[in-house]
Structure 1
């Protein structure tokens, strides 16, 4: 048979050149010099050297491991061929390798290295996690929960415990030995769940002896279920069947020590999620789980609140790094792809689109570093009363603000690739799917907005702290010789005055009827807090040594070409507005016969 019958297919001579990834630490326009400004010279040298090396490891090794986690999703085998219950969770080798890597690289341990200055270790850890996340195959989730567990142990004074079981757990959570290190789960969400953790908890604890209990319940959404240990909440029931009103915190081993047998746990099913598919998330039945109470009885919510700042910071790391990662790829792709006779970066509209994304990414990066810096100050005991109030206010703002931006940001950047951004085998679509979890995990935008309002009500000094912080950031720029910077300062000061007036003119009330005024405007105020603070940070960044023309233009574009306040008109927050919202949504459904014939979507 003629050889020509087996010739290679002729598909034309053109192929699309893929975008290139680079050292993500060196490729960031503000990371290195901001760290240089915030850290002492010896700490900067140590931190910068490690981040540079780690970024190269991400390019050479970690990125491909993360991609394989996306391609090889976890599986749950509930029964074997003979009907025996096995609850075998199968994850790919690359997933386990990445977990070993984040232990070896000290992504947890760095944040708790008591031999270092607290600010330095917190900034080092924050940036390293941010660099890791886009390539990590979602192992950043167990990383965040493990960090939260360590934070909880320390808040409860357990870092110095002599209890063998708890001491081993604490040491293994912090271990940099990839073979010895443990990860932790956080099992808080139940069927009625969401952010109302206390009201929705239907897990019960029966006392055995001492601090030992048996847990029974159903955890509806439990991520990284391959963890070694977990922290969970439950309601203690006494011998007479009386339930505690308040929840307690419990520590448990996922598997019975020294065995592969689950500790009274059945894995019911893995969640079929929009994104984060690399991450094994399951529904768990707790049936006589052996556990130990941590902290005081009925103080479980207070105990886990200690980890909130940490997990919110890690969430912001994920949002900011997702913005930066796909933005860098879109920028590089624009220098390689041609359309209508020009490279994409030579078309003004395409260039403008990516530049606007850069403005937001840069602002959010500075916001992330600022909050990490202040958290470090707080951990060191050097923060003032105002700085402590500021960090309590701005940590939920950071999480909510960056999470709200990341989804449209990634969507816009994906569009910059045209059809290739829609092709699964390009590896780009998963960025958008995974980004959607950010505004949901650790509290939705509305939940965090209400938390911000609660802080303003219970800690009125937080409003003063915010006003002082923004003023301190922009005041040195008033003497700038660059008119763009002076005009930007004026814009921020005007917005600050109006925002602070709005914050002080309302009183937070938690009940629905009385709280309509402030609750309706909570999101508007929270997002304005983020925009004004980011504007101040961009101005401050532009006046430091090493600043360049790009920094001036970025500050000007953010502060002068965008609305820093949004809609803060008091009439938009009142009871009348709330009634109008209800009218818009439900007026056409009132007393309509067809409303009685609805079908649950589970039946469609």
Structure 2
């Protein structure tokens, strides 16, 4: 060691020695251990010095690299080769994948780091209510138009497969989009409503479905009020006053409005008569549309009260709005507002499913990539059998979710093209809420487990990984919570007099007939699950609206999802160009509990006694006194 006096008097020499010490360690030290598990130089007692605590070593973990999400997705490529084997589709998706890596992913990160801001007043005190977003958000809008992320669904270029093509692009785009997929979902929904109603708002429809970035509009969807949530029938208090020119002025408060910087919006309101009276319930709701901004950039009778401070989706402006005389056009027939948004809900729920599956796929791709770079306990993560087993389970979940997503997209495309059979229409009605509720929950679980595969880095904001989990959490809430959608599944059964279930059982049986010998264990498990589910439904679903039905609604929806996903995995693995991994994924999925509603029934979960015990368990200790 050097004498203390030397260090006190010669600072230049001190820093020279320190620099030489760091340089010598940098050239000889690595914290990536070999099979011999050599101790790093920084830990060796022979290298201790006065400055050892100030050095950080030379090892830095190599980060996972985002690669072209299309070329890295074997299942997506296999699905397209089977169903839409067009070179132009493959080329377009491959090109778009390169753009995602080269431009879009960085834009999405910028949106996360530069959230929207509210400017309520101008410099001279005038109220302006401007929502200021970053340039990356504006660029996302241009890309969405140019790539036809809405337009592709209406151009019908690939006939009944146009929706599959569109949703494949959104599936690739979503994890990098900085939540711009949300306004796109609402824009798509608005265009669908206008198209289905055939109302004379031609310019709005053309703008919502335009590929011209200078003409393209995004749409909002202002339905939720303070009382509301999913219960719009009793929660909507907004009032519409008819004007002499045939337009309306809307007055009310919207508590939660996503993508509030939209150009256009749909909203529900109650038309007031000459005495100011309105009709309660869903019969009193009508659907309106309005431009949000006028030609001078001033809001159309809209005051932005505040921007929401959210767990996730921070990239996108979500606000509380006061409608103070917003000029609007009646879009539906009077009192037919709820019925008029049914098509929109189908579409936005499918968009939600796409975003959920896309999040799963992105985290599995990054986790896989990272496992080839992270060295721990003497070898790479990819060489740790338990780690690979964990990733394989995530992969099976993602594959099942992907095939369910593609199925509802296929059915939607066939219905819009006018070629869907009655059975396919019933399947679409049943599977849309099932797919949305199940994949919404899956996304949270898969993304959470995926983040764990990165260790501590998965919890560090700088990596961008935590945003994936925050954003995934909303997917089980948007467009109807899990319980609300489970009840919607019961409603679809009741309203169709059971025809949606008949379509489900007929289609699943047809798919299983073509399975080969290698898939026999999976087919056996699925047929057993279908058999016990049939018996359960025959016993308990005579009256879908009965109180007991509500208790098993959620488990029933999960059962329908798990069985159908297993059937789709078997069907894909039965394709003549399927791989061994396709077969393996189907077998692994079908090893789980395919029918949790029957499992729940065997445990007595749905009886009156269980309901009373559930209530006692939940509310024990709650003080009801004022």
TM-score by length of 1: 0.92
Corresponding residue of 1:63: 105
1:251 has 2:289 as partner: yes
Q: Answer yes or no: is the 8 Å Cα contact 2:372–2:382 preserved in 1.
A: yes
Which runs of structure 2 are paired with 1:28-427 in the superposition (5 Å)? 28-39=73-84, 41=85, 44-80=86-122, 82-114=124-156, 116-158=157-199, 161=200, 166-209=201-244, 211-245=246-280, 246-256=284-294, 258-427=295-464
1:341: how far off?
0.7
Q: Secondary structure at the match of 2:475?
A: coil
- Of 494-503 and 170-179, deviating more is 494-503
The C-alpha deviation readout for 1:3-27, integer Å capped at 9, x for no partner, is: 9759698421100000111111121
1:280: how far off?
0.3
Which runs of structure 2 are paired with 1:545-556 in the superposition (5 Å)? 545-556=576-587
Quick one: which of 465, 477, 481 aligns to 2:517? 481
* C-alpha distance in 2 between matches for 1:503 and 1:378: 28
1:523 has 2:554 as partner: yes
Quick one: which of 582, 585, 589 aligns to 2:615? 582
Q: Answer yes or no: is the 8 Å Cα contact 1:516–1:574 preserved in 2.
A: no
Q: Answer yes or no: is the 8 Å Cα contact 1:463–1:500 preserved in 2.
A: no
Cα gap change, 1:4 to 1:21, in 2 (>3 Å):
farther
1:82: how far off?
4.9
1:150: how far off?
0.5
* C-alpha distance in 2 between matches for 1:259 and 1:510: 53
The C-alpha deviation readout for 1:294-320, integer Å capped at 9, x for no partner, is: 120111111111111111110001000
* C-alpha distance in 1 between matches for 2:297 and 2:14: 58
* C-alpha distance in 1 between matches for 2:255 and 2:96: 36
The C-alpha deviation readout for 1:546-579, integer Å capped at 9, x for no partner, is: 211111111111112x111124243322222211
1:486: how far off?
0.7
1:407: how far off?
0.4
Structure 1: gaps of 5 or more residues? 598-604
1:503: how far off?
2.8
Q: Answer yes or no: is the 8 Å Cα contact 2:221–2:258 preserved in 1.
A: yes
1:532 has 2:563 as partner: yes
- Of 75-84 and 23-32, deviating more is 75-84
* C-alpha distance in 2 between matches for 1:5 and 1:251: 70
* C-alpha distance in 2 between matches for 1:199 and 1:48: 47
* C-alpha distance in 2 between matches for 1:288 and 1:500: 54
Cα gap change, 1:507 to 1:543, in 2 (>3 Å):
closer
Cα gap change, 1:3 to 1:430, in 2 (>3 Å):
farther
Q: Secondary structure at the match of 2:326?
A: strand
The C-alpha deviation readout for 1:68-108, integer Å capped at 9, x for no partner, is: 00000111122345543221211000000001101110000
Cα gap change, 1:388 to 1:3, in 2 (>3 Å):
farther
Q: Answer yes or no: is the 8 Å Cα contact 1:251–1:294 preserved in 2.
A: yes
Q: Answer yes or no: is the 8 Å Cα contact 1:508–1:519 preserved in 2.
A: no
Q: Answer yes or no: is the 8 Å Cα contact 2:145–2:210 preserved in 1.
A: yes
* C-alpha distance in 1 between matches for 2:209 and 2:597: 45
* C-alpha distance in 2 between matches for 1:449 and 1:282: 28
Corresponding residue of 1:601: none
Q: Secondary structure at the match of 1:30?
A: helix
* C-alpha distance in 1 between matches for 2:534 and 2:474: 31
Q: Secondary structure at the match of 1:437?
A: helix
* C-alpha distance in 1 between matches for 2:412 and 2:542: 26
Corresponding residue of 2:33: none
Q: Answer yes or no: is the 8 Å Cα contact 1:453–1:508 preserved in 2.
A: no
* C-alpha distance in 1 between matches for 2:123 and 2:333: 45
Q: Secondary structure at the match of 1:252?
A: strand
* C-alpha distance in 1 between matches for 2:94 and 2:263: 31
* C-alpha distance in 1 between matches for 2:55 and 2:616: 62
Structure 2: gaps of 5 or more residues? 1-10, 23-53
The C-alpha deviation readout for 1:486-536, integer Å capped at 9, x for no partner, is: 11101001101112332333347687xxx3210000000000101000111
Q: Answer yes or no: is the 8 Å Cα contact 2:552–2:597 preserved in 1.
A: no
Cα gap change, 1:332 to 1:135, in 2 (>3 Å):
same
Corresponding residue of 2:5: none
Query: Cα RMSD (Å) of the superposition?
Result: 1.7
Q: Secondary structure at the match of 1:438?
A: helix
The C-alpha deviation readout for 1:372-402, integer Å capped at 9, x for no partner, is: 1111111121111111111100111011110
1:365: how far off?
0.5
Q: Find the structure with the greater CA-based Rg.
A: 2
1:454 has 2:495 as partner: no
Corresponding residue of 2:59: 14
Q: Answer yes or no: is the 8 Å Cα contact 1:142–1:227 preserved in 2.
A: yes
Q: Secondary structure at the match of 2:581?
A: helix
